Amino acid sequence: AGRKDREPAVSGANRTTESQMLRSPIRLLPAGKDYIWGGRRLKDDFSKDLPLSPLAETWECSTHPDGPSRLAEHPEMTLHELLREHPEMLGSHPAKSMPEAVKNGELPVLIKFIDAASDLSVQVHPDDDYAREHENGQLGKSEMWYVVDAAPGTSLVYGFCHTMDAEKVREAVRKGELEKSLQHVPVQKDDVFFIPAGPVHAIGAGSLMVEVQESSNLTYRLYDYHRIGKDGKERPLHLEKALQVADLTAADSPRQPMRVLNYRPGFASEFLCRCRYFEVRRLILNTQRIRTMASFQTDDTSFHVLICTDGCGVLSCNRLSMPFFRGDTFFVPADSGRICIHGIATLLDVNC
């Protein structure tokens, strides 16, 4: 069933008051992007009811001005507006590491679904120092990809297979031969890749991913297969900026992190990624054979974002119960207390 056919997250007498909202999970409505490489899977697999075709990305949890997410119960309000009024919902750790941004209600992370029906551009992201100096004080971009699904034979680009220099890259781009120098890495469902600022990279066709990143929209295109944009022209490259920030040395092939499942009643969890900007763990939920809900405790150090990549269930907190489905995303304020979950589902849990 499409999103419009589902029951609301909280309805009738169970509708949240403002005080409950400030300490309870909030279902979010995403912003969408219709980049030319996108497909239909976000609509078909996740019931993303957005009037865009193709639908390449949904910015599930975002306070970025290029695509802020909204509150499902109060769609007239963005998450940014709520956090600007109540920055304490972000927690003490973000407030300490990014005080000005938190004061303004800005999340340190941006979380997306990505449907790559065709290859994304070969690109690179600047680090924070370069972005602050050259991009009007913006953040750079380090990111993590979690592969929700991948077609057979899918790969991604990560770095160069041999060391390059700026002139060799310019020449390869001019001749349309850059692909010969790029390292291609096979991709499978449930893989995890951390992409710091600096390495050249690209998501390959057939990938369905969750991306967790710094709250930034800075991308420098190095190569784009001479594709034509909506204006009838080749999409612009940012070659010289890319060469200023790209790592041109031969890259080691990225390895999958060691992952250890920790079992608790009703669910198992595993860390996928931990860096200076965020940490991500996967929750594998199955409470069909236990009498009590699975649960975990939040504290005042950080908000959490829960994004369901498969299955469905019920999320409960502070006497409120909210059904969730594949593709749903919840912002959980810091110090919300105990979060209880019931169902059969896989979720990613992001915090800072």
The residues annotated with a catalytic role in the active site are 221
What span, in angstroms and rounded, lies between the C-alpha atoms of 282 and 212? 13
Q: Which amino acid is at 258?
A: M
What span, in angstroms and rounded, lies between the C-alpha atoms of 180 and 238? 20
Please, which residues have CB within 8 angstroms of residue 272's CB and are 6 or more apart in sequence? 144, 146, 192, 257, 259, 280, 281, 282, 348
In this structure, the dihedral spanned by the alpha carbons of residues 182, 109, 328 and 35, taken in order and rounded to 10 degrees, is -40
Q: Identify whether the C-beta of residue 197 lies closer than 8 Å to the C-beta of residue 244.
A: no
In this structure, the dihedral spanned by the alpha carbons of residues 41, 179, 174 and 247, taken in order and rounded to 10 degrees, is 100
Q: Identify whether the C-beta of residue 244 lies closer than 8 Å to the C-beta of residue 229.
A: no
Closest CA to 46 of 328, 347, 349, 343: 328
- Spacing of C-alpha 21 from chain mean position: 23
